[in-house]
Amino acid sequence: MGYDFDCVVPGTHHPRARMSRKPERKSESRNATSWKPMEYQGDLHAKDRLLTSIHKISHLLTRPVSLDTVLTAIVEETAHVFGYDRVAIYLVSKDKRLLECKYEIGFTPEEMEIAFQRPFNLERHECIETLVVKTGQTVYIRDYSTDSRVTYLDRKVSAKQNRFATIAVPLNLRESVIGIIEADRGGYPLVLTEEDIQHLSIFANQASIIIENTRLYEQLVNERNFAENVVQSSPNCILVVNCDETLRTVNPMAQSILGLKQDSVIGQKAPQVLGDPLGKIISDALAGRLTDGNEVVIKHKGGARTILEVSTSQLRSQDGAVLGAVLIAMDLTEAKKTDEWMRRVDRLSSLGQLSAGVAHEIRNPLASINFNIQLLSKRARLDEKSQRIIENSLAGVERIKGLVKGMLDFSRPAPPQLKKESIHRALEDAVALMDSQFAKHGIKVVMNLAGDVPDIVFDNRQIQQVFVNMLLNAMQAMPEGGTVTIETRVGGETKELSRYLSVYLSDTGIGIPRENFSKIFDPFFTTKPEGTGLGLSIAHKILEQHGAHIEIRSRVGQGTMFIIRFPIEGVEKHVPVQDPHRG
């Protein structure tokens, strides 16, 4: 039995491929000796269209395209080349349970919505589509009303889609079926020869390879993007170098910590860009000398220091060849500051309790000594030398009384009277109190106060006392005169500091040796002959009650900077001070 095809061929505009059945004649059996020229030309046209279509969709593999683009091209080529009105492509889900419609052409919006929202269940649904997936064989239904393979579900779907006949070919890939292509001519008959079906199967097999390759490409791209996102969003500093020590990757955290710009350093030699110690660590890693959790100090311009915990590893190919090295560094600076702060608080708390006990033990006998010396000076007739001794004794007693008061202030500061005020006003008042002293010692004050600083909650009297103490220390550090610079800023070097209002007080004095950094807030620690060593201790205690933090940066011979950070949202960690001798 033969068929005459009215197919869409290049240069025609027929909307659909129609077929009309002709009676088969015995003299027209399809063998090599009896083909007519027109039939041979038609066969060549069909093969030419098939090869052109396969070449067209295969060409998609020569450039990066999405799976949606590939599926769209396959469906459109199926409709165009084979003359189908409606074409749908289904893919098996990753868990092998569902057959999901991915793209359709020629269906109404309602039909498409149903197809996309209601996938076939390969275990529960019995229909033409699931049969093709399970058997891996093409199913051609010429008439839904007479074919015994048509199920109840097929008839239900066909009634909704006005489908009279259909063909479904599997998308075979090696030993499995990854999906199907299904096509029909709407309500028109669908009459196909074995050669037609064979051509569509060849096309489907090539489409399977293209779909799988596209999936693999997308998987590789997703894995690469995932790896890049991990690197780019990592809270750690990550550097990747090639075998020749050139930088390949510098993630945002590394750029922030090390002050680098990726565009200007990629391709540059790591040792030259980073310097020591990181440059040497990377060179050692490429040579096989790896680092695991070593602490490294990075010095920045302006005296700031960053403490990093550094680890390195080598990048190797499957055959073990070294491709490069990776350096991962965790910023420990804030953690170290927090640890130092907690140790300082614990130490000051212990010293505060000791100071309170000592102050109470000294205060009572000191009062008796003071009273007796005054009484003796009034009743006894003393010569000039003895009178001078009495006066020196009274001056010494007054000094001890001041020391005792300082010890009590340190161990038992008054609870802050918190109120929302301007920190700038407190700074200006503190500078006004020190104006005459600054002028006497030849000290210039420069104030750079930010314009967008919000009011914060603090005790004006206590914080003013802290500022005066800091300014007094700055003056004493510049016996030959100099400059005190006061700055305010919201935020700081890290995102965490955005919650703080920072006050920077710096001088151009003699500086503080690094070995004294951990001691300057201890009670009685002082490098001044006449100092009591309680000023900074009391300031630290007051700031602790305000939930504020104090940092120090200093270089011997260049000056010192104190940074006080106040929480913008108010006192977060107010610790009420209790008298250990009460209750």
* Record: fold of 415-583: Heat Shock Protein 90 (3.30.565)
pLDDT at 306: 84
Q: Binning pLDDT at 50, 70 and 90, where does residue 525 land?
A: low
Q: Which residues contact 256 (CB under 8 A, 6 or more apart)?
A: none
pLDDT at 33: 36
Residue by residue, DSSP assigns 100-165 as EEEEEES--HHHHHHHHHSPEETTT--SHHHHHHHH---EEES-TTT-TT--HHHHHHHHHHT-S-
Domain limits of the chain?
3-218, 234-331, 334-412, 415-583
Same fold flag, 3-218 and 234-331: yes
pLDDT at 1: 35
Is the model's pLDDT at 9 over the cut of 50? no
Q: Binning pLDDT at 50, 70 and 90, where does residue 151 land?
A: very high
For the segment 556-583, the average pLDDT, to the nearest whole number, is 64
Rg (CA), the chain: 43
> Which has more confidence, 427 or 57?
427
Residue by residue, DSSP assigns 24-62 as --GGG--STTT--HHHHHHHHHHHHHHHHHHHHHHGGGG
Q: What is the 3-state secondary structure (H, E, C) of 499-515?
A: HEEEEEEEECCCCCCHH
At 98, is the secondary structure helix, strand, or coil?
Answer: strand
pLDDT at 550: 85
Q: Binning pLDDT at 50, 70 and 90, where does residue 361 land?
A: low
pLDDT at 265: 85
pLDDT at 409: 61
CATH 3.30.450.40 fits 3-218, yes or no: yes
pLDDT at 576: 38
Is the model's pLDDT at 171 over the cut of 90? yes
Is the model's pLDDT at 124 over the cut of 70? yes
Report if pTM > 0.85.
no
> How far is the C-alpha of 311 from the C-alpha of 306, rounded, in Å?
16
CB 279 within 8 A of CB 273: yes
Q: Binning pLDDT at 50, 70 and 90, where does residue 317 land?
A: confident
How confident is the prediction for the chain on average, in pLDDT?
78
Is the model's pLDDT at 140 over the cut of 90? yes
Q: Binning pLDDT at 50, 70 and 90, where does residue 137 land?
A: very high
Q: Binning pLDDT at 50, 70 and 90, where does residue 351 land?
A: low
At 87, is the secondary structure helix, strand, or coil?
Answer: strand
Is the model's pLDDT at 377 over the cut of 50? yes
Dihedral of CA 331/335/337/340: which sign? negative
Class of domain 234-331: alpha beta
Tokens describing residue 185? 């001519």
pLDDT at 18: 33
pLDDT at 139: 93
> How far is the C-alpha of 89 from the C-alpha of 70, rounded, in Å?
11
* Record: fold of 334-412: Helix Hairpins (1.10.287)
